[in-house]
Every structure is written in C-alpha cells, then in structure tokens.
Structure 1
Amino acid sequence: MKLSRGTAPLSTDERTRLVDLARRSHAVITRYQDAGGAYPASPTFSAYRGFAWLRDGSFTAEGISRYGDVDSANRFHDWSAGVLTRRRSEVDSLVSARAANELPPVERMLPTRFTFTGENGSDPWWDFQTDGYGMWLWAAVTHAHRHGADAGRWLPGFEVAVDYLLTSWDRPCYDWWEEHVEHRHVSTLGAIRGGLVAVAEFLDPARHDAALTVAEEIHTLVLTEGVVDGHLTKWLGTSDVDGSLPSCVVPFGLANGPLADATLAAVAADLDVDGGVHRFTADVFYGGGQWLLLSALLGWNLAARGDLDGALRHLRWIAAQADADGHMPEQVPHHLLHPGSRDEWIARWGTVANPLLWSHGMYLILADELGLLEDRT
C-alpha cells in the first residue's frame, strides 16, 4: 500500500521537501559510487572510507533500484557478482573442507568488506559475516524482477554466494553490527534464508533443492531456538531484541502472522524513541545513538502492513536528521543509551559517519513505500 497524491496526509510544502530529499539521496549515492560499481559505505568516515560492504550496498542498491536508476543498480550488482566470481576457488576449498568434516577457521572465511577492486582490506576487521551474501542475492533478484534485468549475467556470482552460504550458514559469526562472533544471529539467519529463497529459481536443480532445504532448516531452527515470549530474538538463546529484526519480516519473510506482530512490537517498545530506532539496549558504539537506517527499516515494515501514519512518522524523523547539505549520518546522538562511551569512539575514529550511503538508500526505500518517489522527476 502506498500513499496516493490525493490521500497523503502531507502539505504541499512538506511533500516537496521530502521528495527533494529523495532526489538528494540519489545524488549522494551516485556521486560517490565508484567507477567500478561499488557503493562505498561512507566516503569520509575513517573506518569505512575506501571499502564497500555487501550488506550496506545491497540495501543501497534496493533504494536506487526503486528510484529507477537501473544503470547504477546494475553496476553495483555487476561489481558484486565479479567480486564473488573471483572467489570461486576459495569457496570450493571451504566446501571441500566441510565435506571432509573439517571446520575452517574464521580467518579462512570470506570477508564482509572489500576494496573497490574487490580485494581484502589490509587492516584487521571483523570479517566473518554471512548476512551480506544473503542480502545481495535478495537485492539482485528483486532488482532483476522489478526492471526486467538479465539476472543470468550474475549467475556465476549467485552460485559462489549460494555455495558459500550452504557450507557456512549454521556457523556462529559476527552480526550486522560486527559483534558477538560466538553467536548465531536471527537477523543473519533471516537474511540468508531470504537470499536463498529469492535466488532458487535461477539455480541448477541440485543447488535449487539444497537452497530451499537450508531455507526450511533455518526457519525451523529460528522457530525452535530464536523465539521468546512470541517474538524473534537478537540471537539464538537470548530474550533480547535488536533493531535489525524487522528485516526478518520485511523484506526477508522469515516471520509472519503473530510472530511478526510481536517482533515489530517488541522492537518498537524497546528501541524506538520518538521515531528514531536504537540498535540494541547494550549498544555503546558512539554512546548508542539512534540509527536512521533502522528507523527506515521499521517504517518500511509499518508501511507494508498498511500503517502509513506510523511509517510517515519514521520518514519525518529521518528527514529531520539530514544536515544542510542533505547528508544523512549513520546515527545521531539523541537519547544516547550509554553517553559515557561516546567520547572514546570519537577519539578512536572521529565523528560519526556522514554521509552514510546505507542511510540514504533506506530513505529511498521508505519514501517509495509511501508513494513519494512518484514525484521525483
């Protein structure tokens, strides 16, 4: 459901401002997209500059695809497929090790971030994260269906990502926030399942069946070990929630019905303050501020359920965080959960990432859910 021009509860001035910010988000993303297709996480932030994440890039590409910039999204998916295709031998080695009942060390697993030329970074990072591989499969297939793109051009990359996930999906790894490598995270499992289900139609029979089998195993595992008090949990075996959990409802479809209802309600109750959403209650990163992309994720879910007023509340909050240049940061220091930890992160890495391309991509997604991209031209 989307707001039509006739029913949108917006003044002309506010609608114009929100649409202009969508145009600005598209301009920011495409300005900083590398010539080779990668979307940098942030062009200025010390720890992100010069690197691209499949996780950030997949949601950024979804926003760009919804905006109608097929070329930009295609170039990102071309880049991603190329990076993964060049990892074919690495993944074959990992598959062989698991087939021999060996558990490759974390250091052998594929990275979570790449240089713009597709290489590993030279400095240490929290690299074993499987969510982005599932997200990319979902984003590429969704884009292809939306615009009639030839997904076959990405098939070699699809196969590498699928083989990697089939051999590693059940292992503990770092979460969306590059923390807690000792746990199996529900949002990670949801992203993997969403990607495998989305891409299955393009796979050969053996991979197709294996992908759907693992997708069902993930669903059963989460329902068995990742639900407390009727809602999804941050990782298997805890009762805590996380701001990334709405992705398990929309777009990845792991939860529906009462489980989806309770999950969204738990996230809103624990982490949403005035429209801005925190990552999790123990978050000390830059003091534990409110994240624009998580506000958009919750708003996206609300819009998909027909709660347009709730979704618009989140869009308005995000828009209010943009600076005078229309740049959107990673997080803002409102309602800090642990303010005493903020200064140590500023001393370590500088001020918060701004712009963060993922924030801009999520704004485009939510703006589209609310019908605002109809006015972009």
Structure 2
Amino acid sequence: MTTVAQYQALAARSHAVITTHQHAGGAYPASPTFSAYRGYAWLRDGGFTAEGVSRFGDVGSADRFHDWVSRVLADRRGQVDDLRSAGPDVPVERMLPTRFTFDGQNGSDPWWDFQTDGYGIWLWSLVTHARRHGLDLDRWRPGIEVAVDYLTAFWGLPCYDWWEEHVEQRHVSTLGAIHGGLRAVGPFLSGDRAAAAADAADAARRLTLTEGVRDGHLVKWLGSTAVDGSLPACVVPFGLVAPGDPVATATLAKVAADLDVDGGVHRFTADVFYGGGQWLLLSALLGWNLARTGDRAGAWRHLAWIADHATSDGELPEQVPDHLLHPGSRPEWLDRWGPVATPLLWSHGMYLILADELGVLA
C-alpha cells in the first residue's frame, strides 16, 4: 500500500522532472525523449503542466512558461490581424499552430496543427496561476490579447481535437477549453474585446448544450454519440457545465463506464494509437473531477493508479499497455515512433494537480 510520504515523493519527483527539462526560454517540452514530441512545446500540455507547477508552489517556473507563451503569441500579432481581416474561410494551413519550437518558431515538419483548444487552456492556466499567487496580468497582456482575438474570431470553426484527429468536426472538449479560457480572462479585458470574449464564451456553451449532448451527457463532438476521456475538463476546470449539474454528473458517469478500467482511463473506444492504452493524465483528470464532487475515495483510486504506473525512477509515461482496446495496432506505432513517450511532462503536471486536490502537497 502506497503511503502519503510516497505520494509526496512522487510529487517532488514530478516537479523535478518538469523543471529539469524546462527549456531556458521557458517552454515545457512535451517529452524530452519521444521522437515525435522532442523539440516541441504545446500550449495544451504546457498549460496543464504549468498549473501543476503553480500548485506545487514554483511560481518562477510557471511564470517563465507564461512569459514564453506571451512572447510567442505577441510575435504573431500581425498574423492574427491578417487572419481576422480575411474572414472565416481561411485555409487551416494559415492558422496558428498548436505546437512551437522552444525558440517560438512554427514546426518545420508536417503536423495536425489547427487546434484552438490550447489557446483557451493557456488563458485559463495563466489567469488561475496569477490569481493563486497575486500576480498582475498586465505582464502578459500582449499574449492575452492575441489569444483572445484569435479565439473570438475562430472559436466556432471545425479543427483537430486534443488528440490531433478529425479536423472536420467541432469537438466538445475544444469548445469547453475555449469557454473556460475566455471566461477566466474576461474580468481582465475591457471594451469591445471584453464583449467579444463574453459573446464567444456564451455561444460556445449554447452550441455545446444544444448539439453536444446525447442521452443527457456530453459527447465527443457535435452530433456524435460517443464520449471521450477529455470531456471531464468541460466540468472541472473549464466550467462549461458546473459540478453537480445533471449533464456534468451524467458525463462523468458515462466516461467512467465506457473508458475507466481499474482506475486507468482510455481516450476513446476507437483509439488505436499504441493499441489504445490507458492514459495517466486522463486518470488524473477524472480523479480531479471526482474530488471536486466529493468522491474522494474515487479520486484517491486514480491517484494510486497513476503512482502504481510510475517507472522505477519516478517518471510517468503518456500511456500504459494495460487493457489495450486494439492490441493489434500497437506494433505499428512502436515501429513508427518507438516506445511510448516517457516521461510525458503533462502526465507529471496532472499528477501534481490531483495530488494537490487531495491535500498531498500541503
């Protein structure tokens, strides 16, 4: 049986993994060793990782990440202005990318780049960090304004999801992240920008509750019937539906019923990536939601599952091959990209978040 001291030790190790690999310029690498992720930082991964670091009490590391994002986005002020002037029919190839090199450049190799969720996740992460530590958001105003202007112009377009798939769909978890980010940053904004952010957040919520609910629960994308392991984020932390709301309760129950096996959570039932294993960060996300709804036993179950799947030196992988959904597809990915990403900094960041929710970091 894992002791509180052992959970605390893994939290300290998680913080060390994150900060050891943080680039001098502030970026959090997705994974320092994985062939397809090495050399790149995502706003989605980094936003959640920064939240974990902020909860751990490392203000400086989180500040440096947010400084880096703000610089990267401020450098794209002209691009966003041009996109907004061009209207909604801009080819996806012209949109801002989902990942950047550590020096803030676009990637040079092909990727599934048009993903708007990361911009909302960054806004939420930044505002949450600033409120927690009493920081002035003016420090990051240039990046904030670019992210807000980009999202208010293009929030409703189909794009790739959290898993970089299905560019033709409008994904509920993406809409939730946009809603959460624009709502969080709203009090900092003024004038037309504040009004546009509020309008876009409200519209994303209305659209989701109109077209993104089936049988009382949120679904993977508008018009779908399936669920996705990222959907709990629409409850906590993004507040598209509040904890305890019937839609929130039904969503958490459906995700648990369809995707949770022994504490580990799959992405979605059709997942063939590395055979469709269980993702540590999604286990933490569901646990985070359970903790907020008062199911602390359920949340502890997820924290224990994550801890049980740390490597011998305390690194957390992206996923593990327990209860593979499609085992026949695993060799293809091993041949293409090598072993599963280990460590994945997002996994470590999510462990810190759940550990903090359960008082482990106190």
Letter in 1 for 2:215: D
1:319 corresponds in structure 2 to 307
Match of 2:126 in 1: 140
* Matches for 1:72-111 after TM superposition, within 5 Å: 72-98=61-87, 103-111=89-97
Q: Report matched runs for 1:287-366 at 5 Å.
A: 287-366=275-354
The equivalent residue for 1:7 is none
3-state SS, counterpart of residue 3 of structure 2: helix
- 2:252 aligns with 264
Report deviation, 1:96: 0.5
Residue 4 (structure 1) aligns with: none
Question: How many residues are paired up?
Answer: 360
Look up the match of 1:202.
188
> What is the correspondence of 1:58-73 to structure 2 with a 5 Å cutoff?
58-73=47-62
Q: Quote how far apart the aligned CAs of 1:149 are.
A: 1.4
1:81-230 paired onto structure 2 within 5 Å: 81-98=70-87, 103-230=89-216
Structure 2 residue 25 is the aligned partner of structure 1 residue 39: no
RMSD between aligned residues:
0.7
- Note the C-alpha offset of 1:150: 1.7
Q: Write the distance in 2 (CA, Å) between the matches of 1:174 and 1:262.
A: 25
Residues 35-80 of structure 1 show CA distances to partners (whole Å, capped at 9, x for unaligned) of 0000000000000000000000000000000000000000000000
2:3 corresponds to which residue?
14
Selected match of 2:16 from 27, 31, 41 = 27
How far apart are the structure 1 equivalents of 2:187 and 2:25? 28
Q: Deviations over 1:138-183 (max 9, x none)?
A: 0000000000112111011000000100111110000000000000
Shift of 1:24: 0.2
User: CA offsets per residue over residues 328-375 of structure 1, 9 Å max, x none?
Assistant: 00000000000000000000000000000000000000000000001x
Match of 2:45 in 1: 56
**Unaligned stretches of 5+ in structure 1?**
1-10
Q: What CA distance in whole angstroms lies between the structure 2 residues aligned with 1:251 and 1:282?
A: 26
TM-score using structure 1 length: 0.95
Question: Once the 2 structures are TM-superposed, how far is the Cα of residue 306 of structure 1 from its aligned partner?
Answer: 1.0
Superposition deviation, residue 20 in structure 1: 0.2
Deviations 1:89-147 (CA, angstroms, capped at 9, x unpaired): 0000011011xxx5110000000000001001110000000000000000000000000
Gapped runs of 5+ residues in structure 2?
none
Q: 1:355 aligns to what SS in structure 2?
A: coil
Partner Cα separation in structure 1 for residue 321 and residue 264 of structure 2: 11
- 1:233-290 Cα offsets, whole Å, 9 max, x none, are 0000011000000000000000131000000000000000000000000000000000
Contact kept? 1:169, 1:189, Cα under 8 Å? yes
The aligned amino acid for 2:69 is S
Q: Secondary structure at the match of 1:52?
A: strand
Distance in structure 2 (CA, Å) of the matches to 1:293 and 1:240: 20
Contact 1:190-1:248 within 8 A present in 2 as well? yes
Q: Is the 8 A contact 1:233 1:242 kept in 2?
A: yes
CA shift, 1:198, in A, is: 0.4
What fraction of aligned residue pairs are identical, expressed as a percent? 73
Indicate if the aligned counterparts of 1:25 and 1:326 stay in contact, CA closer than 8 A. Answer: yes
Correspondence 1:276 to 2:249: no
Match of 1:5 in 2: none
Tell me the equivalent position of 1:373: 361
8 Å CA contact 1:329–1:353 kept in 2: the answer is: yes
Relative to the length of structure 2, the TM-score reads 0.99
| 1:204 shift after superposition | 2.2
2: CA distance between counterparts of 1:325 and 1:208? 47
Whole-Å separation in 1 of the counterparts to 2:188 and 2:142: 11
* AA of the residue aligned to 1:116: F
Amino acid at match of 1:202: F
Rounded to whole Å, the distance in 2 between the matches of 1:14 and 1:112 is: 38
Kindly report structure 1 stretches of 4+ aligned residues shifted beyond 3 Å. none
3-state secondary structure, aligned to 1:140: helix
Could you tell me how far apart the structure 2 residues matched to 1:347 and 1:51 are? 21
Shift in Å at residue 201 of structure 1? 1.1
